[in-house]
Amino acid sequence: MRRCPLSRAAAAALARRVLAAEGVRHAALSVTFVGRRRIRSLNRRYLGHDRETDVIAFALAGAPGPLVGDVYCAPEIAARAARRFGVPVREELRRLVVHGVLHVLGYDHPAGERRTGSGMWKRQERLLRGGGGAR
């Protein structure tokens, strides 16, 4: 995938919307789009999983002051998932940005198929529909 179908500006606006919906007023958060090799390298190095993944998020835990975190999304992996689920790649990338920001905020979910029934997943989908509101 040569060009990411989700612009930097759109990713930033979406991340800001999630932070606002979660009541975060001060944050230093990066959202970076990376290739398959880079996401696999991050997954192996920091999480011990030697495989590609679609999104990885890191939060600087326990830091006083603003929330600090990094979200890495892999558009090529998102494109595969989008084809599998029958959704546009841009929609899947939006889902990954929201998912990553929620992880930075401390949300988590079970592994495997059970994740789609988790509170985090439900929150993610509400935010994607624009229904941020109260938790």
In this prediction, residue 111 carries a pLDDT of 86
pLDDT the model gives residue 120: 94
Quick check: 117 and 96 in contact, CB under 8 A?
no
C-alpha dist (Å) from residue 109 to 7, 66, 102, 117? 27, 24, 10, 9
The pTM of the full predicted model, rounded to 2 decimals, is: 0.91
Residue-level pLDDT, tens digit, the chain, 135 residues: 567 889 999 999 999 999 999 999 899 999 999 999 999 999 999 999 999 999 999 998 666 778 889 999 999 999 999 999 999 999 999 999 999 999 999 999 988 888 888 999 999 999 998 855 544
CA dihedral 118, 103, 97, 1 (to 10 degrees): -100
Domains annotated for the chain, with CATH where assigned, are 8-128 (3.40.390.30)
Q: Tokens for 124?
A: 């993610």
